[in-house]
Amino acid sequence: MILNTSSPKNSNNNTDDNMIPLINVVFLMLIFFMVAGQITAADGVKVAPPISVSDSQTNNEQLKVVIAEDGRVFIDGSLIEDKEITARILSYRLDQNADENTGILVKADADLAIERLQTILKLIKSAGISSLSLITSQVKA
């Protein structure tokens, strides 16, 4: 009886070669989700901003003040009281070495009472902010 100790010719195909297409698909999916998805900070509360026809873009690096329909105010995703708004904006200006021309993004709910919005805007102005942008949603064509 003769034992054949040599490896068969078909064993040259490594089983790891079957993994290459799977790895390719996984990397393609990874790239797709990185491009298709955007990671943004949460506002702290769901807000439906007013509709606008303007298509200008804002700088997302600015401080964002979110005002809910019931008048609650969120800065950087955390709920704050009215008396803390001015101090929070002043500390932001100091941390960022920003001047009075530094802009603030304000995202207010479309159903928010205008009196409440005016009160918050006055508090922002008292912190020395001279320019702000109101975030709106675009008209869907």
Give the chain's domains with CATH numbers. 51-138 (3.30.420.270)
Does the pTM surpass 0.85? The reply is no
CA 62 to chain CA centroid, Å, is: 12
CB 126 within 8 A of CB 86: yes
pLDDT score recorded for residue 77: 82
Q: Which residues of the chain have pLDDT under 70?
A: 1-15, 38-44, 48, 50, 52-61, 98-101, 139-141
The burial of 134, by beta-carbon neighbours within 10 Å (0-12 exposed, 13-18 middle, 19 or more buried), is given as middle
Q: Which pLDDT score, from 0 to 100, does residue 135 have?
A: 82
